[in-house]
């Protein structure tokens, strides 16, 4: 019979996005990590834009799943022999039943549609005809020269910056089109940046917080790091409850234990929180959001960005102590419901990232 610990850890649930992520995988033997990093580096040279091409199972460190959309580009038998792993095609336990590959396919289909438009105009047989009609009306109809390229691999990392008077994702420049573009269409020399989103709930930002919340401070029971206090205060999170969530985590407790919802609207620093949302959403790009068969296509203007960050309510979801190693925050604005979480993304205990997803209200 499998132990409870083995049951919890099994499955291809680890998706490293960098060589440093691989260094932090405790279940991979040290003598295997160098070859794993070399494999990751080779796969990263593929201009697919996929940042997490492999999936690993903590109980089977010698077996690797290569995301299906890339598997056709490689001889998996030769790749396995070259790096000393058993490599096969598979998406692992990615959310949305392969949403990563579906999202990449969506980006490719946008490129195909623009190329078809370039050749045939609006008479083309498009995959997303309504989106192409919107694109035509917005910036293509008078263009004499059109080009398009897949730019997902060029997405720029956007770290979080914290001071007593500011909380920003990626810095003060809110015109972020070139940083978030997945597909760039150039019409008569002018670039139009398209951020392609797939599914009902999508990510706006994903920034590292490992240095903000050092493990030693959890063990001491308080944070000395000024940035940690600023971040927690911005959301209205109780510092001691936050520390207890991670320090008391117990794998044997049910992960779906009831969460206590606390209205933190009056306690949160809404000025800092609004800065976080403004810089996370940004402006200066076009949003192409596929939900089901429909694609919403619109320009993220400065006005829309501002409306997206007008905070009406902040709710903290505190898990029962010991039942989870994450904390969730809900932020409501007129346009979006933001789901923000602070958690460990790399199989460890203490938080490494802050992530913000959204869905339309």
293-334 residue pLDDT tens: 889 999 999 999 999 999 999 999 999 888 888 999 999 999
pTM above 0.85, yes or no: no
Give me the pLDDT at residue 253, please: 67
Confidence of residue 8 (pLDDT cuts 50, 70, 90): very low
- % of residues, the chain, pLDDT over 90: 55
pLDDT average, residue stretch 221-229 = 93
Residue 146: both structure tokens together:
């059109």
pLDDT top residue among 7 and 332: 332
Half-sphere exposure of 79 (CA within 13 A, CB side): 23
Q: Fill in the DSSP letter of residue 138.
A: I
Give residue-wise pLDDT tens across range 48-83: 668 888 999 888 889 999 887 677 678 888 999 999
Residue 234 has pLDDT above 70, yes or no: yes
Residue 34, SS3 per DSSP: helix
Residues in contact with 64: Cβ distance below 8 Å, sequence separation at least 6, in sequence order: 36, 39, 54, 55, 56, 85, 86, 87, 88
From the list 297, 309, 302, 298, the residue with the least C-alpha distance to 335 is: 309
pLDDT top residue among 304 and 47: 304
Confidence of residue 3 (pLDDT cuts 50, 70, 90): very low
Give me the pLDDT at residue 321, please: 81
**Residues linked to residue 269 through DSSP beta bridges, in sequence order:** none
Confidence of residue 5 (pLDDT cuts 50, 70, 90): very low
Give me the pLDDT at residue 293, please: 80
From the list 339, 308, 314, the residue with the least C-alpha distance to 206 is: 339
């Amino acid at each position: 019979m499998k132990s409870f610990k083995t049951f919890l850890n099994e499955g291809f649930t680890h998706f490293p996005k960098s060589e440093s992520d691989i260094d932090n995988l405790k279940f991979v033997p040290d003598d295997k990590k160098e070859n794993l990093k070399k494999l990751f580096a080779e796969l990263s040279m593929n201009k697919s834009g996929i940042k997490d091409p492999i999936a690993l199972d903590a109980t089977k460190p010698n077996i690797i799943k290569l995301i299906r959309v890339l598997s056709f580009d490689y001889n998996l038998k030769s790749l396995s022999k070259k790096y000393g792993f058993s490599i096969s095609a598979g998406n692992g336990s990615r959310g949305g039943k392969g949403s990563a590959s579906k999202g990449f396919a969506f980006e490719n289909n946008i490129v195909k549609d623009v190329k078809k438009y370039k050749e045939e105009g609006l008479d083309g047989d498009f995959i997303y005809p309504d989106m192409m009609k919107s694109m035509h009306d917005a910036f293509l109809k008078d263009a004499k020269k059109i080009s398009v390229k897949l730019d997902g691999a060029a997405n720029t990392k956007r770290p979080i910056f914290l001071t007593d008077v500011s909380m920003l994702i990626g810095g003060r420049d809110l015109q972020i089109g070139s940083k978030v573009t997945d597909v760039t269409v150039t019409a008569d020399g002018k670039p139009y940046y398209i951020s392609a989103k797939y599914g009902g709930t999508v990510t706006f930002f994903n920034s590292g917080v490992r240095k903000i919340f050092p493990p030693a401070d959890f063990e001491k029971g308080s944070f000395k790091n000024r940035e940690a206090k600023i971040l927690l205060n911005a959301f209205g999170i109780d510092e001691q409850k936050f520390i207890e969530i991670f320090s008391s985590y117990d794998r044997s407790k049910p992960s779906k234990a009831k969460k206590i919802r606390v209205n933190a609207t009056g306690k949160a620093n809404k000025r800092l929180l609004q800065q976080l949302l403004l810089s996370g959403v940004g402006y200066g790009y076009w949003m192409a959001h596929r939900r089901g068969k429909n694609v919403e296509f619109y320009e993220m203007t400065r006005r829309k960005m501002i409306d997206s960050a007008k905070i009406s309510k902040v709710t903290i979801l505190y898990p029962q102590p010991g039942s989870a190693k994450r904390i969730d925050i809900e932020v409501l604005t007129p346009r979006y419901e933001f789901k923000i979480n602070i958690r460990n993304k790399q199989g460890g205990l203490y938080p490494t990232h802050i992530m913000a997803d959204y869905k339309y209200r």
